[in-house]
């Protein structure tokens, strides 16, 4: 027998995992007889003895070595256990682990030493098997394992070692023995094992490792049975033996090869057997079964050489970053949408490179790949598209993104320069550079420094005004000014803040006088860029009034000296007005002096507030403009010249018989009541202030007479709604109370025309007035005789407009040189909140009606 | 286009500005007010720095992207507006 021949079966057996055989093969057929032989010498250790001399198993020597003989003695087991060590190991382990049925155990206990085991068959023949394995006494076994605690060392090892020697058949045979409990003698072998198992707990035998049992390759079995001296007490001690039944483990199953004649398969089996017999008969001398040689025609080999391109290997390293992964994932999703942009870009790229030749397709595709690829552009440097780069660079300069970047850059530069000023404006703590601080007025030059010094001197003189809190008097500190080359030389005629974005300022440039007329300009300035306006709207005529809309904060209404109104949308970059009134038949014929967006309650009709544009012009009309299909206007009031005959309430008597050129009085300013938008005041060139209502367009409700010259500005007090302020060319500023047609308080600080007055949004006592030479800030709470702060202008420059900043303590002053300067009010006396509405009463008490 | 030119001119004439340059993605200057060698040097160095800065920003959050880069040194401040195709670089001495 050779392992080779058996190998097939082994494999089959292994694969089947069953210890049974395949179809019986002729060569291997054995007569299976149930022999009572027990296969091996089961080394059974007596409970008492622990030692097992290795020589025990030597009785069955030569016979043992033949595996075949074993097979014959084994009933039914033909397993060629050439299965790999695993298989046999498994078997072995199984054998070792099995605790067979109870009845077997009974016999086990009483089983004596192996030597004493005698197997006698029915005929009384001693068929005691002889041990297969004769272990080397000098081999040392390894440390035992608890798995087989009961296993007697030497016995087990012998058993195992016998297995290991014969690596195969023994296991199945033994196993066969185990499963066939019919074998009486075999039970002993079984029982020996089971004994060991069953009395596992009691015997404190060192057990051999399971691996021990299954390591067939290792012929050296080490036995280290510890010595334990058995005392008399031990022997007499009651040993408790607990017998338990295990489950039935099936580890060998050999299907029977005999079939009953009466079964259903009998016919088939018979047929098969007959076929087989015929086959065997035919086999002898049959051509089919003869070994023959054949010669195949071998083709003549031929060597052929092939050369391939050199395989270029390149090492590429890339750092896999989180964004790279993100881009790659998104690239898959956006691959469809990126086709479109790449197409667009290819068309763009094609246009500049139209005149190029063959390189165009290649290069544009390169550009496409550049544009739509998500890889680093650094890797796509190609010299051949250098020519196209020139066009590409032009495209860069024209691109929107570049434009935007330039925009931001400019603002950043501004911020660098003006950071401290802007911080002061926004009332943030001013950060100081560690280097020497830049001088404040470095922008404009020395002349303004002189102004500053002058102001300071004046402030020192004015200390006697006495601010209650701080020792440093209130002053105006100049932060910066909005000016650029375009605006140089123009007169600032109006200022207006944007209602939505408080950083945006609209400035109108235009001269007041008829002879001084030049071109006009309306600019939108942003705080973030003080050197260049965001929007520039040029026109032929001077701009006399500007205002931002409240309802749509992007609309800017500009009024011109020629009486027309234009509405611009500041969101777009275009210079063309959205609406223009030049074609309207009812447009004003004289310069429009004031323009304002008013939100009017519809009142009775129940509509929500609608915004209208109201203008007053020198042709004596106050018009309301409505935006429908174009600018359409509707007269609110026609200002008529008032003569003494119409006004009987008193006042000065005018000369009779004065020839009136026109019955219309030019209107210069108006102011709607902050609460009741039906009522408004209008100032005329005559010096009269008329209180009118939108409901009546013929009659005035009241006339306030006090000024002797044209009234340039009227302003309602934002907190106390009864009080309003007016300034005129007669050098005076008058405070009126609504119910009283006589002036309440008058101020004649200088002998110059007062162009503009405005109340402070923070306190009801403070207002600012701009006359030709200086800007004054009055605080009625402190003094009604002198202004709190006076800021003198440069010689030659007139201050024409003032405006308070909304959130911060800053004042904007426009002058006749095209500059809008921003001043910060410093050290102002803190406003007393309670005084908001009480200005009249407070002033009324100690000072009665001051006749102006 | 002229607006672009005007803006560039304004930026260049701004207070404290030492130089302005626009370079394309390969480091070739498109517009510059400094000499060529300085421009090329700035372009190369800042390009790498911008890449690194962008990589950093996007590593933290891939949906974010770099819009502006400012480097303030003892002597002056370098401001870079990066883009896929170009770099806008302005060098300013903020305190004169």
A332 at the B interface (CB within 8 A)? no
Q: Would you place residue A446 in the very low, low, confident or very high pLDDT band (cuts 50, 70, 90)?
A: very low
Q: Would you place residue A786 in the very low, low, confident or very high pLDDT band (cuts 50, 70, 90)?
A: confident
User: How far, CA to CA in Å, does A8 sit from each of A17, A22, A30, A69, A87?
Assistant: 14, 11, 18, 20, 15
Residue A411: pLDDT over 70: yes
- How confident is the model over A236-241, as a mean pLDDT? 83
Asked if the Cβ–Cβ distance from A403 to B3 is below 8 Å, we say yes
Q: What is the model's pLDDT at position A639?
A: 79
Which one of A98-107, A199-208, A303-312 scores highest in mean pLDDT? A303-312
Asked if the Cβ–Cβ distance from A408 to B81 is below 8 Å, we say yes
- How confident is the model over A460-466, as a mean pLDDT? 40
User: How far, CA to CA in Å, does A756 sit from each of A217, A714, A742, B81?
Assistant: 116, 9, 21, 44
Residue B49: pLDDT over 90: yes
Give chain B positions within 8 Å (CB) of A410.
7, 10-11, 14
Q: Would you place residue A222 in the very low, low, confident or very high pLDDT band (cuts 50, 70, 90)?
A: low
- pLDDT one-digit tens code per residue, A801-838: 888 888 788 888 888 888 888 888 877 766 554 444 55
CB A436 within 8 A of CB A447: no
Give chain A positions within 8 Å (CB) of B87.
none
d(CA B24, nearest CA chain A) in Å: 7
Residue A458: pLDDT over 50: no
Dist. CA A770–CA A791, nearest whole Å: 9
What token pair was written down for A640? 């008529």
Q: What is the model's pLDDT at position A211?
A: 43
What token pair was written down for A726? 């007016």
Residue A181: pLDDT over 70: no
- How confident is the model over A784-791, as a mean pLDDT? 80
Q: Would you place residue B57 in the very low, low, confident or very high pLDDT band (cuts 50, 70, 90)?
A: very high
Q: What is the model's pLDDT at position B80?
A: 92
Q: What is the model's pLDDT at position A832?
A: 52
User: Is the reported ipTM for this assembly greater than 0.90?
Assistant: no
Average pLDDT, chain A: 67
Q: What is the model's pLDDT at position A520?
A: 85
Q: What is the model's pLDDT at position A566?
A: 87
Cα-only R_g, chain B? 14
Q: Would you place residue A191 in the very low, low, confident or very high pLDDT band (cuts 50, 70, 90)?
A: very low
Residue A355: pLDDT over 70: no
Which one of A14-28, A43-57, A276-290 scores highest in mean pLDDT? A276-290
- Nearest Cα to Cα of residue A507 among A496, A499, A517, A520: A496
Q: Which of A58-67, A695-704, A795-804, B64-73 has the lowest mean pLDDT?
A: A58-67
Residue A467: pLDDT over 50: no
Q: Which of A109-118, A591-600, B43-52, B77-86 has the lowest mean pLDDT?
A: A109-118
Enumerate the domain spans of chain B: 1-92
Residue A40: pLDDT over 50: no
Q: What is the model's pLDDT at position A687?
A: 86
Residue A764: pLDDT over 50: yes
Q: What is the model's pLDDT at position A116?
A: 62
HEC readout, A371-398: HHCCCCHHHHCCHHHHHHHHHHHHHHHH
A331 at the B interface (CB within 8 A)? no
Residue A87: pLDDT over 80: no
A400 at the B interface (CB within 8 A)? no
Pairing of strands A711-716, A702-705: unpaired
Look at the pTM and tell me if it is higher than 0.80.
Answer: no
- How confident is the model over A345-352, as a mean pLDDT? 40
Q: Would you place residue A629 in the very low, low, confident or very high pLDDT band (cuts 50, 70, 90)?
A: low
Give chain A positions within 8 Å (CB) of B90.
409, 413
Q: What is the model's pLDDT at position A88?
A: 42
Asked if the Cβ–Cβ distance from B26 to A389 is below 8 Å, we say yes
Q: Would you place residue A789 in the very low, low, confident or very high pLDDT band (cuts 50, 70, 90)?
A: confident
Fold classification of B1-92 is: Beta-Lactamase (3.30.450)
What ranges in A426-550 are assigned the alpha helix state H?
446-461
Asked if the Cβ–Cβ distance from A412 to B14 is below 8 Å, we say no
Residue A713's Cα: distance from chain center in Å? 54
Q: What is the model's pLDDT at position A432?
A: 62
Q: Would you place residue A110 in the very low, low, confident or very high pLDDT band (cuts 50, 70, 90)?
A: very low
Which is more confident, A588 or A839? Answer: A588
Q: What is the model's pLDDT at position A138?
A: 62
Q: Would you place residue A295 in the very low, low, confident or very high pLDDT band (cuts 50, 70, 90)?
A: confident
A378 at the B interface (CB within 8 A)? yes
Residue A79: pLDDT over 70: no
Beta bridge partners of A810: A824
Cα-only R_g, chain A? 59
Residue A391: pLDDT over 70: no
Which is more confident, A182 or A805? Answer: A805
Q: What is the model's pLDDT at position B45?
A: 92
- Nearest Cα to Cα of residue A78 among A254, A250, A214: A254
Q: What is the model's pLDDT at position A487?
A: 82
Dist. CA A491–CA A518, nearest whole Å: 10
Q: Would you place residue A144 in the very low, low, confident or very high pLDDT band (cuts 50, 70, 90)?
A: very low
Nearest to B30 among A322, A396, A413 (CB): A396
Q: What is the model's pLDDT at position A603?
A: 55
Q: What is the model's pLDDT at position A225?
A: 60
Residue in chain B closest to A391 (alpha carbons) equals B30
Residue A847: pLDDT over 60: no
- How confident is the model over A226-252, as a mean pLDDT? 81
Give chain B positions within 8 Å (CB) of A367.
none
Q: Which of A235-249, A379-393, A771-785 has the lowest mean pLDDT?
A: A379-393
- How confident is the model over A129-133, as a mean pLDDT? 78
Helix (H, G, I), strand (E, B) or coil at B28: coil
Q: What is the model's pLDDT at position A180?
A: 44
Residue A650: pLDDT over 60: no
- How confident is the model over A541-562, as a mean pLDDT? 87
């Amino acid at each position: 027998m050779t392992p080779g021949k058996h190998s097939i079966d082994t494999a089959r057996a292994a694969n089947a995992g069953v210890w049974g055989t395949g179809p019986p093969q002729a060569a291997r057929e054995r007569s299976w007889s149930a022999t009572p032989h027990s296969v091996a010498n089961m080394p059974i250790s007596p409970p008492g003895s622990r030692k097992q001399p290795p020589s025990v198993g030597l009785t069955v020597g030569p016979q043992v070595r033949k595996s075949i003989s074993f097979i014959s003695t084994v009933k039914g087991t033909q397993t060629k256990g050439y299965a790999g060590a695993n298989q046999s190991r498994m078997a072995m382990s199984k054998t070792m682990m099995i605790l067979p049925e109870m009845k077997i155990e009974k016999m086990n206990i009483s089983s004596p030493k192996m030597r004493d085991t005698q197997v006698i068959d029915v005929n009384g023949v001693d068929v005691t098997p002889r041990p297969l394995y004769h272990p080397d006494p000098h081999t040392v076994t390894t440390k035992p394992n608890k798995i087989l605690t009961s296993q007697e060392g030497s016995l087990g090892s012998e058993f195992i070692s016998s297995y290991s020697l014969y690596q195969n058949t023994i296991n199945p045979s033994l196993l066969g023995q185990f499963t066939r409990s019919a074998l009486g003698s075999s039970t002993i072998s079984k029982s020996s094992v089971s004994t060991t198992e069953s009395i596992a707990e009691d015997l404190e035998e060192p057990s051999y490792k399971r691996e021990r049992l299954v390591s067939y390759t290792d012929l050296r079995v080490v036995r280290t049975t510890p010595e334990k001296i058995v005392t008399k007490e031990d022997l007499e001690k009651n040993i408790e033996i607990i017998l338990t039944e295990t489950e039935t483990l099936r580890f060998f199953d050999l299907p029977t090869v005999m079939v009953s004649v009466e079964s259903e398969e009998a016919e088939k089996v018979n047929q098969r057997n007959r076929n087989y017999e015929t086959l065997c008969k035919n086999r002898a001398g049959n051509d089919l079964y003869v070994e023959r040689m054949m010669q195949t025609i071998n083709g003549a080999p031929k060597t052929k050489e092939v050369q391939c391109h050199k395989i270029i290997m390149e090492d590429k390293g890339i750092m896999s970053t989180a964004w790279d992964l993100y881009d790659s994932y998104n690239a898959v999703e956006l691959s469809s949408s990126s086709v479109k942009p790449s197409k667009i870009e290819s068309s763009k790229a094609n246009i500049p490179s139209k005149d190029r030749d063959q390189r165009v397709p290649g290069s544009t595709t390169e550009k496409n790949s550049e544009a739509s690829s998500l890889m680093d552009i650094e890797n796509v440097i190609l010299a051949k598209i250098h020519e196209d780069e020139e066009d590409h660079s032009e495209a860069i300069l024209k691109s929107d993104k570049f434009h935007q970047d330039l925009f931001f850059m400019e603002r950043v530069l501004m911020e660098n320069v003006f950071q401290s000023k802007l911080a002061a404006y926004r009332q943030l703590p001013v950060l100081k550079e560690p280097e020497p601080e830049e001088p404040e007025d470095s922008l404009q030059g020395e002349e303004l420094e002189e102004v500053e010094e002058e102001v300071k001197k004046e402030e020192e003189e004015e200390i006697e005004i006495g601010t209650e809190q701080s020792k440093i008097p209130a002053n105006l500190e100049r932060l910066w000014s909005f000016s650029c080359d375009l605006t140089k030389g123009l007169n600032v005629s109006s200022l207006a803040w944007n209602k939505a974005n408080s950083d945006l300022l609209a400035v109108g440039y235009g001269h007041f006088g008829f002879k001084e007329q030049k071109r006009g300009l309306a600019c939108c300035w942003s705080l973030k860029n003080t050197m260049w306006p965001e929007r520039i709207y040029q026109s032929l005529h001077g701009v006399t009034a500007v205002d931002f809309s409240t309802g749509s904060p992007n609309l800017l209404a500009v009024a011109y000296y020629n009486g027309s109104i234009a509405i611009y949308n500041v969101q777009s970059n275009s210079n063309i007005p959205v609406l223009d009134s030049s074609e309207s038949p009812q447009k004003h014929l004289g310069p429009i002096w004031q323009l304002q967006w008013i939100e009017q309650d519809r009142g009775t009709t129940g509509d929500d507030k609608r915004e209208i544009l109201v203008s007053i012009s020198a042709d004596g009309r106050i018009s309301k403009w409505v935006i429908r299909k174009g600018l359409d206007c509707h007269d609110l009031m026609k200002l008529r010249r008032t003569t003494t005959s119409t006004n009987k309430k008193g006042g000065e008597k005018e000369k009779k018989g004065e020839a009136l050129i026109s019955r219309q009085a030019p209107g210069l300013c108006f102011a709607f009541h902050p609460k009741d938008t039906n009522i408004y005041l209008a100032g005329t060139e005559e010096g009269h202030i008329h209180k009118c209502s939108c409901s009546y367009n013929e009659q005035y409700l009241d006339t306030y007479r006090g000024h002797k010259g044209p009234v340039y500005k009227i302003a309602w007090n934002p907190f106390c709604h009864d009080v309003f302020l007016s300034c005129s060319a007669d050098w005076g500023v008058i405070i009126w109370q609504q119910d009283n047609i006589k002036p309440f308080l008058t101020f004649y600080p200088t002998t110059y025309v007062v162009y503009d007055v405005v109340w402070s949004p923070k306190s009801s006592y403070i207002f600012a007035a701009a006359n030709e030479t200086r800007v004054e800030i009055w605080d009625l709470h402190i003094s009604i005789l002198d202004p709190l702060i006076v800021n003198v202008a440069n010689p030659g420059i007139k201050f024409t407009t003032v405006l308070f900043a909304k959130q911060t303590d800053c004042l904007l002053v426009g002058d006749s040189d095209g500059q809008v300067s921003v001043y910060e009010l410093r050290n102002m006396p803190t406003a007393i909140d309670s005084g908001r509405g009480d200005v009249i009463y407070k002033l009324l008490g100690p000072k009665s009606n001051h006749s102006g | 286009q002229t607006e672009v030119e005007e803006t560039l001119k304004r930026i260049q004439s701004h207070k404290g500005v030492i130089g302005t340059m626009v370079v394309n993605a390969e480091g070739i200057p498109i517009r510059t007010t400094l000499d060529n060698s300085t421009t090329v040097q700035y372009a190369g160095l800042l390009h790498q720095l911008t890449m690194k800065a962008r990589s950093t920003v996007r590593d933290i959050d891939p949906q974010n992207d770099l819009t502006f880069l400012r480097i303030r040194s003892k002597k002056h401040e370098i401001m870079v507006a990066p883009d896929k195709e170009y770099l806008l670089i302005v060098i300013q001495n903020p305190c004169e």
